[in-house]
Chain A
Amino acid sequence: MGQSRLTRRTVLKTAALGSAAVITAPYVSGVHAAGTLTLGCWDHWVPGANKAFDKICKEWGDKNQVDVHIDYITSQGEKDKLTAAAEAQAGTGHDIMSHRDWNIRIHQNSLEPLDDVIATLIKQYGPISPVAEYLAKIKGTWRGVPTAIGSQVKPCCSRIDLYKQHAALDLQAMFPPDESKWDKATTDKWTWDAYVESAQKLHKAGFPVGLPMGQTSDAVDWVGGLFNAYGVVFIDAKDGIKINSDETRQAMEIARKIMEASPPEVFAWDDAGNNRWLISGKGSGIMNPPSAWAVAKRDNLKVAEQCWTHPVPKGPKGRFVGQLPQFYGLWQFSKNKTAAKDLLLHISQKESVAQLVAASFGYDLPSFKTMYDLDTWKTVEPPVGTVYGYPPRADEETSMFGAPARSEVGAQMYNQAINTVMVSKFTQGKEKLDEVIKWAEKELEGTLRA
């Protein structure tokens, strides 16, 4: 009988091969999970959306004999972020926690690697949105799984009647609810210059567009998209501060023209300010997910019937829409990691995502482009196809203010809203552009602190 010799070299070789296999292999469900799983989830603002998620989790729990308990935590007053911070510091709490925007990066050292789950999803559905990758893949390791729930982009949501009447633009004809019918020559004309021109006409007619200029995400995201469209880089991936550029000056000029055609209160708006502006009937357009349209459908149907969601304008460097994805993270202190990963995989399946998108009337947006063909965006009304243009289509790309800087630097830039404060200083504060850029350079230096 032959006897193999176990040497130190063999052990090391086997261990290395084993580790490589674990890292590269796609996640395989170990369905014999059991016990309890607790989830701390973002509390959806759409009535009934939480129930759809409950149902998906319950089905999985029943099938795998796992008792799933979900706590919904509101993002009002950042309560969800406070809870995550407390759990990370205490080293105890839920197994899975939802994380908005930069929270995966913030808690990276307390989160379990999820490369295996992501590898399986990429194999199934293709590449993930670059913004999601920027936010959740840290030093080559995925620390969060992007979820459709609460994830959003902020395209234009405009009044069909007012644009037709006062700006001579037929938005439904430009962006019909079938991408194959979009005419490139026409959509190419939808530029930031064209946007400014239409905004000026609508302002003159007494129905200004309402783009927020406060320090919350709606404002940061649309200004981030505008700056990207002009190729503005605040800090590059190698920590180089690049804000002092011609591109910045061009983008700031566009922002100034838009602010001149906007109501003065935009500087104080929170994320609901632009929604209220559109719903009240005073505004002709905003940049927002379909939440404004959905509330208008409930509170002011006549406005909702005239809303059309369509891509943002294009700039010299492309068409960029602000994206704000949400993620699920698995705490390292979780005692049921196998079951947790299996649940994460289950809720990321296209069938589950379809239910979530339907329950949120198209608000929830998956991070996989291959899922943008779901029926909800085609069928939701009034008018039919109103949110078809919500998922980024054709040449529209997603963007995140802060990128391409290191994500810990980007988080500071985004949360301190350096881009909108710049625009506010220049427009509302009437400060000289060079002084504003100098101020921004100093603030950006601060974000590079180790």
Chain B
Amino acid sequence: MADTVHSWAHALNGIRTPSSAQRGVLRFMRRRSTIAFLMCLPLIVIIGGLVIYPALYSIHLSMLNKSQTRFIGLSNFSFLLSRDTFWMVVQQSAIFALSAVFFKALIGLITAHLINNLPSKGQRKWRGMLLVPWVIPLALSSLGWWWLFDPTHSAFNWVLTGLGFEEISWLSSPYWARFSVILVNVWYGAPFFLIMYLAALKSVPEQLYEAAAIDGANAWQRFVHITLPMMRNIIAITVLFSLIVTFANFDIVQIMTAGGPRNMTHVFATYAFLLGIRSGDLPLGAATSLFMFPILAVAAVFILRGVRKRGKEVG
């Protein structure tokens, strides 16, 4: 009997006191970093599957020959660099992205100031209305704009001729076509800047403005010496984010001009689509789209370095 009791107690002890290995696992699982990692795991898997893997695959693809049977190193890239049309695409992508981001930032800043100075009762209404372009799916709004610019039945031209002006070849003249696609991008993206700048404006301490007013600073001086320095980080981050998104834009150009006339509105993404999907040269298409990467990486390094530096100064 005593033996039995002893063996039961031993068995129970075995359950209550885990072995050292089990104790290690339990300790590991209880760590906050482990829990955080496990909770992030679904996101890591999604990013790994939908971002990292496709990115690595496209790098691999860009180093294959046209029929994807042979590794050719950087030949696709050197081939692209020898093409006049590709350099035209580089130039157009830069014009498209830089001018669109500049006007989006400018319009966003001006409208954010206007809204910030409205009485708080009316602000919400205006904020909601001005966000509409950003909320509508881009493919749909681009189609709407395309109807307005329609080569034959443009609504804008109808108004212009009604007012006694000449018709404008919005999409058939290459330079007007460039203007049109940039305009639509600005219309779509400005609300993002507006909302970011509005949030930044609201975080500027009111006391700074009061002190400046006592010192006799006018509105422009307050803007230059208080508002802008306080917003510099948010401006840098929004510009970086927008630059990445605008450089990679596809929908607007594809829907409105498909790169024409005379290839003069192609950007990296539409040209990559033309070469990769429509012409069936996936490796060359992948190489074209990867050209964006170093340009954006350099921009990101400089902008984020500035943000970090200013963060340290504030800290």
A85 touches B84 (CB 8 A): no
In this complex, how many residues of chain A approach chain B with their Cβ under 8 Å: the count is 43
Partner pick for A102 among B173, B254, B257, B280, CB 8 A cutoff: B280
- 1/0 per residue B246-261: CB within 8 Å of A? 0000000010011111
B282 touches A85 (CB 8 A): yes
Q: A280-B153, A442-B84 are in contact. Are A268 and B257 (CB under 8 A)?
A: yes
CA separation between A105 and B173, bound complex, in Å?
Answer: 34
A268 touches B279 (CB 8 A): no
- 1/0 per residue A74-115: CB within 8 Å of B? 000110011001000000000000000011011001000000
CA separation between A11 and B152, bound complex, in Å?
Answer: 70
Cβ of A446 within 8 Å of any chain B Cβ, yes or no, is yes
Q: A81-B277, A85-B282, A280-B153 are in contact. Are A268 and B65 (CB under 8 A)?
A: no
Interface hits, B239-276 → A, CB 8 Å = 254, 257-263, 273-275
Cβ of B227 within 8 Å of any chain A Cβ, yes or no, is no
- 1/0 per residue A421-442: CB within 8 Å of B? 1001100110000000001001
Interface hits, B172-210 → A, CB 8 Å = 172-173, 177
In this complex, how many residues of chain B approach chain A with their Cβ under 8 Å: the count is 34
CB contacts (< 8 Å) of A450 on chain B: these are 65-66
- 1/0 per residue B43-65: CB within 8 Å of A? 00000000000000000000001
CA separation between A424 and B177, bound complex, in Å?
Answer: 15
Residue on B nearest A446 in the bound complex, by CB: B83
Cβ of B85 within 8 Å of any chain A Cβ, yes or no, is yes
- 1/0 per residue A162-189: CB within 8 Å of B? 0000000000000000000000000000
Residue on A nearest B76 in the bound complex, by CB: A449
Cβ of B79 within 8 Å of any chain A Cβ, yes or no, is yes
Cβ of A312 within 8 Å of any chain B Cβ, yes or no, is no
Cβ of A207 within 8 Å of any chain B Cβ, yes or no, is no
Cβ of A158 within 8 Å of any chain B Cβ, yes or no, is no
Cβ of B232 within 8 Å of any chain A Cβ, yes or no, is no
In angstroms, how far is the closest chain B Cβ from the Cβ of A84? 10
- Secondary structure at chain B's binding surface: helix, strand, loop or mixed? loop
In angstroms, how far is the closest chain A Cβ from the Cβ of B153? 7
In angstroms, how far is the closest chain B Cβ from the Cβ of A444? 12
Cβ of A266 within 8 Å of any chain B Cβ, yes or no, is yes
CB contacts (< 8 Å) of B281 on chain A: these are 412
Cβ of A120 within 8 Å of any chain B Cβ, yes or no, is no
Sort A-B residue pairs by CB-CB distance and give the 6 closest, nearest first. Answer: A106-B280, A265-B151, A268-B172, A268-B171, A415-B279, A268-B151
Q: What are 20 pairs between A and B in contact, CB < 8 Å?
A: A78-B277, A81-B277, A82-B277, A85-B282, A102-B280, A213-B261, A214-B258, A214-B260, A215-B258, A264-B173, A266-B151, A267-B173, A268-B170, A268-B257, A424-B261, A428-B172, A428-B261, A429-B262, A449-B66, A450-B66
Please list the residues of chain B having a beta carbon within 8 angstroms of any beta carbon in chain A.
65-67, 79, 83-85, 151-153, 169-173, 177, 254, 257-263, 273-275, 277-282, 284
16 additional contacts (CB under 8 A) given A78-B273, A102-B280? A78-B278, A102-B279, A103-B280, A106-B280, A215-B258, A264-B172, A265-B172, A267-B169, A273-B152, A408-B280, A411-B279, A411-B280, A415-B278, A415-B280, A416-B274, A425-B262
Please list the residues of chain A having a beta carbon within 8 angstroms of any beta carbon in chain B.
77-78, 81-82, 85, 102-103, 105-106, 109, 213-216, 263-270, 273, 276-277, 280, 282, 408, 411-412, 415-416, 421, 424-425, 428-429, 439, 442-443, 446, 449-450
